[in-house]
Amino acid sequence: GAADLDCDVVVLGGGPGGYSAAFRAADLGLKVVLVERYATLGGVCLNVGCIPSKALLHVAAVMDEVKHLSAVGVDFGAPQVNIDTLRGHKEKVIGKLTGGLAQMAKMRKVTVLRGYGQFVGSHHLSVEATQGEGTQRSGATQVVQFKNAIIAAGSQAVRLPFMPEDPRVVDSTGALELKEVPKRMLILGGGIIGLEMGTVYSTLGARLDVVEMMDGLMQGADRDLVKIWQKMNAPRFDNIMLKTKTVGAEATPEGIKVTFAAAEEGGTAPEPQTYDLVLQAVGRTPNGKKLAAEAAGVSVTDRGFIPVDIQMRTSAPHIFAIGDIVGQPMLAHKAVHEAHVAAEVIAGELQGNKELAAAAFNARVIPSVAYTDPEVAWVGLTEDQAKAQGIKVKKGLFPWAASGRAIANGRDEGVTKLLFDDSPEAHGHGRILGGGMVGTHAGDMIGEIALAIEMGADAVDIGKTIHPHPTLGESIGMAAEVAHGSCTDVP
Ligand code: FAD
């Protein structure tokens, strides 16, 4: 049929995956249409994810840090929080970044089309215009004809079916609205998103409970690191309920009454509790089933993921998918790298550039960070994973109690832990397989360990790399020396 717009590449979704793909494709000379249902670009990450949560976590971290100063003779008195101003600050931060994206799209001549996109054929996407602050549809539809498409439609928070519709039950988006600070708050799900939001609310004055089905918080992180995080954060919590399921919830005038059950047979269930705010943070589900992808020949799994190969190609060879919608880990930095691969492969194929057309996503590792206080950051193999996979590892553990900078900062609870291949074939010079840190600024330092893994560094490479003194990053060099067996002095 007739199309209203015609392009080389249509990108569906304006999050970190989508805008990165659109920008790279435009930079490579392609004609790009970027479709987004919301008024601003940036997706979950900029509008209701990474960025607003970090704006609030920064404020919380400073508030908590100031409390530590009392012990060194500096007192500020109790904080006075104006929650409207704080919310306004967070919105300003978002606005700066989304406004910047709109400008960058314009500079690159990327056509941004506001509306809800669905496939209507192998080379056609219909876009129904949306309006207002949300995604209200107007009925007016345009058809975009494309040579290639990149699906970057992201994910959304999972809702438990038995949760009542009530303003006191929120997901991360609702929690970031920061309407008020509850007295008692339940975090459903002990993952990064729940614990980050819990940190903000608890610093602002809420008492926390957390309920988690598995036997530990922050699944995926090394247990040695989580143990320290949990010890430091114990004062925020009334109850940490592990191996526990949430089985019911009821809205009452006093609050949301939540009932629990043991996750394992023979376990004991905690008593029901009543909360002023319940945050559902039990995971995110991909948006793959809402795009009429089958109309373009794109396979979608039962759970809504879109399977892709290492070039980010779906089951339809001219259509690519990236970001949360293709699978775990659902992280912005993964989406951005996948975006560049998809854009380069398409440009390479359209322009007959073999080198670009051969682009592939083959990162060895993807780092994870919990921006809590202290932060927890990890990348590659953990000790438990190594054990489960039968890989013999040599450990280098460096407690920050021996770091001059951490002591000077009054924050020496941290630990840096590196794992090296210790299989017989490694002959005592095994490469780094994984690492993690718990401590202030851990997230800003984990990139070095990721680089070491990508480069195939061994303990000597890292230990002999001169790190500046006195820094927290020195702990990475020291941990490597510990693993190598040559750490004699303490900075
Ligand atoms: P999204 O960001 O989800 O973007 C998809 C876009 O597509 C959305 O804007 C959506 O409106 C649009 N869309 C979907 N369907 C359609 C359609 N049919 N038509 C038109 N538009 C459509 N990750 C990190 O790396 N670091 C963090 O610190 C971090 N913190 C987070 C904190 C929170 C509270 C949350 C919820 C997430 C956080 N994440 C973080 C995860 C991160 O936000 C996601 O991994 C990232 O946004 C995924 O990017 P994406 O481009 O795949 O999808």
For ligand 1, mutation pick of 20, 38, 44 (most atoms within 8 Å of CB): 44
Q: Whose CA is nearest to atom 27 of ligand 1?
A: 50
d(CA 358, CA 469) in angstroms, rounded, equals 42
Structure tokens at 308: 């892709």
Phi, psi of 101 (to 5 degrees): -65, -45
Residues whose beta carbon lies within 6 Å of some atom of ligand 1: 12-18, 35-38, 43-45, 49-50, 53, 116-117, 152-155, 172, 193, 287, 290-291, 323-325, 330-333, 335, 371
- Per-residue model confidence (pLDDT) at position 485: 87
CB-based contact 42:101 (threshold 8 Å): yes
Q: Whose CA is nearest to atom 37 of ligand 1?
A: 49
- Per-residue model confidence (pLDDT) at position 386: 97
d(CA 448, CA 187) in angstroms, rounded, equals 32
CB-based contact 396:480 (threshold 8 Å): yes
d(CA 48, CA 196) in angstroms, rounded, equals 13
- Could you tell me which of 277, 111, 114, 107 has the C-alpha nearest to residue 183? 277
**CA angle in degrees (0–180, nearest 5) for 227-230-236:** 175
For tokens 């975009």, the residue is 144
Angle between helix axes 50-69 and 192-203 (nearest 10 degrees) is: 50
Active site residues: 469
d(CA 348, CA 78) in angstroms, rounded, equals 59
Atom of ligand 1 nearest to the CA of 284: 36
For ligand 1, mutation pick of 45, 199, 326 (most atoms within 8 Å of CB): 45
In DSSP terms, 430 is beta-bridged to none
CB environment 8-30: b (16+ within 10 A), e (fewer): bbbbbbbbbbbbbbbbbbbebeb
Q: Which residues contact 121 (CB under 8 A, 6 or more apart)?
A: 295, 296
Atom of ligand 1 nearest to the CA of 329: 45
- Per-residue model confidence (pLDDT) at position 357: 98
Atom of ligand 1 nearest to the CA of 175: 34
Rounded to the nearest angstrom, the distance between the alpha carbon of 44 and the centre of ligand 1 is 3
Q: Whose CA is nearest to atom 34 of ligand 1?
A: 49
Structure tokens at 86: 């704080």
d(CA 128, CA 450) in angstroms, rounded, equals 42
For 234-263, the pLDDT digits (tens) are: 999 999 999 999 999 999 999 999 999 999
**Using alpha carbons only, how large is the chain's radius of gyration in Å?**
24
- Per-residue model confidence (pLDDT) at position 486: 66
For 434-452, the pLDDT digits (tens) are: 999 999 999 999 999 999 9
d(CA 255, CA 358) in angstroms, rounded, equals 56
CB-based contact 185:174 (threshold 8 Å): no
CA dihedral over 251, 253, 258, 259, signed as positive or negative: negative
Q: Whose CA is nearest to atom 8 of ligand 1?
A: 43
Residues of the chain with pLDDT under 70: 1, 486-491
Atom of ligand 1 nearest to the CA of 339: 51
Rounded to the nearest angstrom, the distance between the alpha carbon of 149 and the centre of ligand 1 is 18
- Could you tell me which of 371, 391, 372 has the C-alpha nearest to residue 381? 391
Q: How many CA atoms lie less than 13 Å away from 62 in the CB half-sphere?
A: 8
ipTM computed for the complex: 0.99
d(CA 400, CA 380) in angstroms, rounded, equals 21
Q: 3-class secondary structure for the chain?
A: CCCCEEEEEEEECCCHHHHHHHHHHHHCCCCEEEEECCCCCCHHHHHHCHHHHHHHHHHHHHHHHHHHHHHHCCCCCCCCCCHHHHHHHHHHHHHHHHHHHHHHHHHCCCEEEECEEEEEECCEEEEEEEECCCCEEEEEEEEEEEEEEEECCCEEECCCCCCCCCCCEECHHHHHCCCCCCCEEEEECCCHHHHHHHHHHHHCCCEEEEECCCCCCCCCCCHHHHHHHHHHHHHHEEEEECCEEEEEEEEECCEEEEEEEECCCCCCCCCCEEECEEEECCCEEECHHHCCHHHHCCCCCCCCCCCCCCCCECCCCCEEECHHHHCCCCCHHHHHHHHHHHHHHHHHHHHCCHHHHCCCCCCCCCCEEECCCCEEEEEECCHHHHHHCCCCEEEEEEEHHHCHHHHHCCCCCCEEEEEEECCHHHCCCCEEEEEEEEECCHHHHHHHHHHHHHHCCEHHHHHCCCCCCCCCCHHHHHHHHHHHCCCCCCC
CB-based contact 54:30 (threshold 8 Å): no
> With 0-12 CB in 10 A as exposed, 13-18 as middle and 19+ as buried, what is 205?
exposed
- Per-residue model confidence (pLDDT) at position 489: 52
Rounded to the nearest angstrom, the distance between the alpha carbon of 228 and the centre of ligand 1 is 30
Cβ neighbours, 10 Å, residue 180: 10
d(CA 444, CA 431) in angstroms, rounded, equals 22
d(CA 45, CA 23) in angstroms, rounded, equals 17
Q: Largest Cα–Cα distance in the chain?
A: 75
Q: Which amino acid is present at 347?
A: A
- Per-residue model confidence (pLDDT) at position 435: 98
Structure tokens at 468: 């500046």
**CA angle in degrees (0–180, nearest 5) for 243-244-250:** 170
